Amino acid sequence: MNKTINQKAWYFVIPVFVLVAFNAAIPLMTVVNYSFQETFGNNVFAWEGTRWFKQILLSERFHAALGRQFAFTFIILLIQIPLGIAIALTMPKKGWGVPVCLILMSMPLLIPWNVVGAMWNIFALPDIGFLGYTLNSVGFDYNFTQQPGDAWFTTILMDVWHWTSLVVLLSYAGLNSIQPAYYQAAEIDGASRWATFRYIELPKMKKVLTLAILLRFMDSFMIYTEPFVLTGGGPGNTTAFLSIDLVKMALGQFDLGPAAAMSLIYFFIVLLVCWVFYNLMMKNEAQS
Amino acid sequence: MKKYKWLVPTLYIIFLMLPIYWLINMSFKTTTEIINTYSLWPQKFTLENYVKIFTDSTWYMGYVNSITYTVFNTVISVAAALPAAYAFSRYKFLGDKHLFFWLLTNRMAPPAVFALPFFQFYSSVNLFDTHIAVALSHCLFNIPLAVWILEGFMSAVPKELDETAYVDGYSFGRFFFKIFVPTIAAGIGITMFFCFMFSWVELLLAKTLTATEAKPIAATMTRTASTSGYELGLLAAAGTLTIIPGAIVIYFVKDYIAKGFAMGRV
């Protein structure tokens, strides 16, 4: 759409600008403030320069948490995106099955995150949970509160349970926007199922899939509540992702300086990856 | 192969429903039964857990609090986002693209980063432990989201609609509320749904900004679980009840959801 230049449009944006600035700029400045200072309690501060940043960037604890975070995000993207596409492709296109699928599949998205964690906790308990009990009775030695491997497996399964539906809904919407004529043309050309997917469906889903990857990247990178309730970051520190580690440092040990420096580094990484994605997405939108 | 296509979504839905079923199953058991026996359905069916929640004010007030700040947040977010989205969809102005990306960055900010400064900030303006504090803090991610979705819907409405209305002598205010808002009603519905959803499921900020007066149900659950041992039955019942508002909302917007996602803006 060709837009008219109108500087007065700023008046329309002011409420949003004020509300978000009030919520984002002021707290963010507080964080920046802390990140350069040492606190002694009673509001006494001393300038520390870039010491906290160096400390965080060189600390093994941060490297380990960052490594776990990237591993987790990478694994869940690798599972959720293909799985989501596969489910969207097999979903009914019309009839009573559509609302049933949409409603049931959206359910996990609307459950408070700590309830998701608590639900999976009792679902996976080895003695009284369905998942834990079943796995143990078929011969696996499964206990997610004791064994790091099991804790990872459970956390990933929980995230797949929680968020795959988002990818499904996005892909489904993308598929629905394809005109029937494309499929007819493919049929006339005698295209295989794979060729239809590769050359018709996948390109048409590009936009929604970029969005799905962006959203899943962002949200899994910020994940806090669900693993916190499920495993508490344990056993040991094996499932302590970035947010969990950060909150432990900031609110648990009250190390404000290092925590603030870590927050900024953390935010910067998310921002960087999202900026790349955002540009990709806008390029797609400009093309279509 | 085509014949067995229905198997994939069916198996997926079964996978989704299993943990939910397990939660509901436990909510009808007594805590002693949960701890001592493993069973696929309640042996001694009891409503005791639900009775406790509906008669104890620390429990049911948690629901009232959660719903209160969620509704506040939805109203504030949509009301503020409507004019802004209109500006983004219709006009070019100084810094518009940067502003739009800046708004989106707030959707990307990890809430854990903001938890502590929010606590200090809202305490210093005497809003700590109020519904409005939680509602305002959730604006951080809901306003950018609302602007983003609404802008998508508004851009789909041709500009000729605006121009014709002005030619017909409508003032901007009358045009906006009498013509434009009804035109994008579906978009507003979807936006409200997503604002409601993200405010309803968020816990970290809601928990940090409240103590007793505005404590969300989800936080009540974590506290009770840690102080009085694991009252699993009660926990399960409270958890089951948190699913209901979402299920109701989703039933109402089911026809619009696919359309909303098709805009590619969530």
Interval B6-35: pLDDT, tens: 889 999 999 999 999 999 998 898 877 877
- The domain ranges of chain B are 1-46, 55-262
Instruction: Compare all CA atoms of chain B with the CA of A116 and give the residue at the minimum distance.
Output: B239
Fold of A60-287: MetI-like fold (1.10.3720)
With an 8 Å Cβ cutoff, are B13 and A174 in contact? no
Residue B228: what pLDDT? 47
The span from the CA of A263 to the CA of A260, in Å, is 5
Neighbouring C-beta atoms of residue A31, cutoff 10 Å = 21
The residues of chain A scoring below 50 in pLDDT are none
Amino acid letter for position A200: I
The span from the CA of A94 to the CA of A99, in Å, is 9
The span from the CA of B130 to the CA of A110, in Å, is 24
Interval A220-260: pLDDT, tens: 988 888 888 888 877 888 888 888 888 887 777 777 788 88
With an 8 Å Cβ cutoff, are B13 and A104 in contact? yes
> Which residue(s) pair with A38 in the sheet?
A46
Residue B74 has pLDDT above 70, yes or no: yes
Q: Does B246 touch chain A (CB under 8 A)?
A: yes
From the list A28, A29, A26, A227, the residue with the least C-alpha distance to A121 is: A227
What is the ipTM, given to two decimal places?
A: 0.85
Side-chain-side CA neighbours of A20 within 13 Å: the count stands at 27
- Picking from A12, A24, A251, the nearest residue to B84 by CB comes out as A12
Q: Does A107 touch chain B (CB under 8 A)?
A: yes
E strands in chain B:
91-92
B53 is written with which tokens? 């929640």
* Range of weakest confidence among A82-91, A240-249, B180-189, B257-266: B257-266
The CA–CA distances, whole Å, from A28 to A165, B113, B115, B140 equal: 33, 8, 11, 12
> Which residue(s) pair with A45 in the sheet?
A39
Residue B227 has pLDDT above 50, yes or no: no
Residue A261: what pLDDT? 87
**CA end-to-end distance (rounded Å), chain B:** 33
- Picking from B93, B109, B200, the nearest residue to A24 by CB comes out as B109
Residue B39 has pLDDT above 70, yes or no: yes
Q: Do the bridges between strand B91-92 and strand A45-47 make them parallel or antiparallel, or are there none, so unpaired?
A: unpaired
If one compares B54 and A284, the residue with the highest pLDDT of the two is B54
Residue B203 has pLDDT above 70, yes or no: yes
If one compares B140 and B1, the residue with the highest pLDDT of the two is B140
Residue A158: what pLDDT? 95
For tokens 């009252």, name the residue: B231
Report the CATH architecture of B55-262: Orthogonal Bundle (1.10)
8 A C-beta contact, residue B200 and residue B246: yes
For tokens 């990484």, name the residue: A269
Residue B6: what pLDDT? 84
8 A C-beta contact, residue B110 and residue A222: yes
Average of per-residue pLDDT across B186-201: 87
B residues 84-143 near A, CB within 8 Å?
84, 86-94, 96, 99, 101, 103-118, 120-121, 136-137, 139-140, 143
Residue B226: what pLDDT? 47
Residues of B whose CB is below 8 A from A27? 114, 117-118, 121
Residues of A whose CB is below 8 A from B155? 1
- The distance of B241 to chain A (nearest Cα, Å) reads 10
A182: CB partners within 8 A, 6+ apart: A200, A204
For tokens 């390109």, name the residue: A203
The span from the CA of A150 to the CA of A122, in Å, is 15
Residue B75: what pLDDT? 95
